Amino acid sequence: MSVCSSSSSGSWSSTKAWIVHGIVAGVAIAVAIGARVYLGPPKKFRSRVVGIIPARFDSSRFQGKPLVQILGKPMIQRTWERAKLATTLDHVVVATDDEKIRECCRSFGADVIMTSESCRNGTERCSEAIQKLEKKYDIVVNIQGDEPLIEPEIIDGIVKALQEAPDAVFSTAVTSLKLEDAFDPNRVKCVVDNSGYAIYFSRGLIPFNKSGKANPQFPYMLHLGIQSYDTGFLKIYPQLEPTPLQLEEDLEQLKVLENGYKMKVIKVDHEAHGVDAPEDVEKIESLMLQRNLS
Ligand SMILES: *[C@@H]1O[C@H](CO)[C@@H](O)[C@H](O)[C@H]1NC(C)=O
Ligand SMILES: *[C@@H]1O[C@H](CO)[C@@H](O)[C@H](O)[C@H]1NC(C)=O
């Protein structure tokens, strides 16, 4: 692979490539004291970024969910408007299999890419969408359409995390877990190493205190559903065979860790207000009114 390869496939190894190059060129000292001085200013790693909002009409729990009105605007529009505020995204696109969603998104000015109905989940839809986009991108952010209050800063945070961690192919975010959610299997917990790489995700409480109760002093972390991928990795991700821990916990992201890939995790302040069921709409509307968001 060429040193300055900008091709997306395998680009996560390019930092290693230039270190080796430096030694070969006889500037081993430069490597020791910072190769940058000798090799010129670094090109920003994984600089081209696209945000994809996967949206499907048929949801078992909530038909037509992306189009539900939230204080007078379709939910998908609210998510898109938030994503457009992220400064690290070069482009934001909705990926859908549904004509009504496409028409709606066109009407408020979003770019839309049609994907097949066979996509089993958002990751697969992002993977298909990236292969259909004309331009090349290094990073894909998977922005879930059911989080209309997603902060643009969180999107920027996971993008920067992936740009700054060349050995990772995936980045995501966590926030503090509320103690009352400790044993709720729908709240996914996460533990990370000293450098902020994911060790494990679980529906059970991790780490587990031997008292059998949640420890009010421990900073447990709740996983948020936003993630970004190296484009080369996203292309192979759906094809990786399901793995034992992934299947047992029913957590897609475990497949990444079980295959030995690294995942960078950032910690953010965020109250999750996902819309999963019709009754969540009213809750989020009253919250927005309270906080003067409209
Ligand atoms: C378990 O939780 C308690 C508080 O509930 C805490 O004092 C203790 O340090 C924790 N760890 C162990 C190993 O007991
Ligand atoms: C989503 O797609 C991925 C990638 O193909 C797959 O491994 C995973 O099992 C799917 N997850 C769900 C919840 O269907």
Tell me if 252 CB under 6 Å of ligand 2. yes
Q: pLDDT per residue over 211-261, tens digit each?
A: 999 999 999 999 998 999 999 999 999 999 999 999 999 999 999 999 999
CATH class of 49-290: alpha beta
Q: Which of 215, 218, 220 to mutate to test the pocket of ligand 1 (most atoms within 8 A of CB)?
A: 215
Q: Atom 11 in ligand 2: which residue has the minimum CA distance? A: 252
Proximal ligand: closest to the CA of 258:
2
Q: pLDDT per residue over 157-200, tens digit each?
A: 999 999 999 999 999 999 999 999 999 999 999 999 999 999 99
Q: Atom 11 in ligand 1: which residue has the minimum CA distance? A: 209
Q: pLDDT per residue over 94-104, tens digit each?
A: 999 999 999 99
Tell me if 242 CB under 6 Å of ligand 2. yes
Whole-number average pLDDT of the chain: 87
Locate the domains of the chain by residue range: 1-43, 49-290
Q: Which residues contact 164 (CB under 8 A, 6 or more apart)?
A: 45, 264
Proximal ligand: closest to the CA of 179:
1
User: What is the chain's length?
Assistant: 294
Q: Are 92 and 134 in contact (CB under 8 A)?
A: no
pLDDT for residue 17: 40
How many A from CA of 221 to the centre of ligand 1?
17
pLDDT for residue 83: 97
Percentage of the chain exceeding pLDDT 70: 85
The per-residue b/e assignment along 174-204, b for 16 or more CB within 10 angstroms, e otherwise, is: bbebeeeebeeeebbbbebeeebbbebbbbe
